[in-house]
Amino acid sequence: MLKARIRSQLKLKRLVDELEQTESVIFMLALAVEAKDSYTEGHLRRLSHYSEQLALAYGLSREDARFVRYGGMLHDIGKIGVPDAILTKPAKLTPEEYEEIKKHPEYGARIVAPMRFAKEVGPIILSHHERWDGRGYPEGLSGENIPIGARIVAIVDAYDAMMTDRPYRQALSKDEALRRLRAGSGSEWDAELLAVFMRLVETDELVLPNGSLTEALEKVIV
């Protein structure tokens, strides 16, 4: 009996250690993106938090929601491979610059490919710019062919971008952001998922994360 309990405790410790190591890698990669694009710190923290909330509200399991959270945190990790001059350009991108930006989902999927969670998180990173109507990138996937985690991240990514000051425009109001999301329901975004997300926003159930990305990293690696 005692040996069985010891084995169980050792197994639990190994699982906790693996989780902590995985979380540390995720946050450190996210910080690397932040170093290239100062806009992303609050964005990545909020996006991971919002993505997990939407996943749970939609009915995904806690484990699946955790992978969606990782996908939200790492969705833009491929921007490490995009030139700084393009990322921080205050004016409209040229067609050539936009084509370069569009490579970041593929770069990101390659970066996480060696990691334990690549099977679950890689498709989220790769497909978070796909559209429900098939007019997105990089593969032109449509409808339910787009991984559900990517569909979740696409919605919260768009909302947070609208609600944030960018180099080329000021933040929109919540009402205007919701209007634009509603206009893209069933074309740009999954209508069913979007309805759940909009309910979270309209009822003030969407909770902001506490602390900064750096503080989150410190809590994980201590």
Cite the active site residues.
Answer: 79
At a CB cut-off of 8 Å and minimum separation 6, what does 66 contact?
A: 52
Sequence-distant (6+) residues with CB within 8 A of 93 are 86, 101
Dist CA 114 CA 108 (whole Å): 12
Q: How far is CA 36 from the centre of its chain?
A: 17
Torsion angle (degrees, nearest 10) of CA 33, 39, 40, 44: 170
- Contact indicator for 108, 75 with CB cutoff of 8 Å: yes
Q: Indicate left, alpha or beta for 211 from its phi (over 0: left) and psi (-120 to 50: alpha).
A: left
C-alpha angle with apex 52: 27 to 162, nearest 5 degrees? 85
Q: Are 184 and 174 in contact (CB under 8 A)?
A: no
Q: How far apart are CA 115 and CA 199, in angstroms?
A: 34
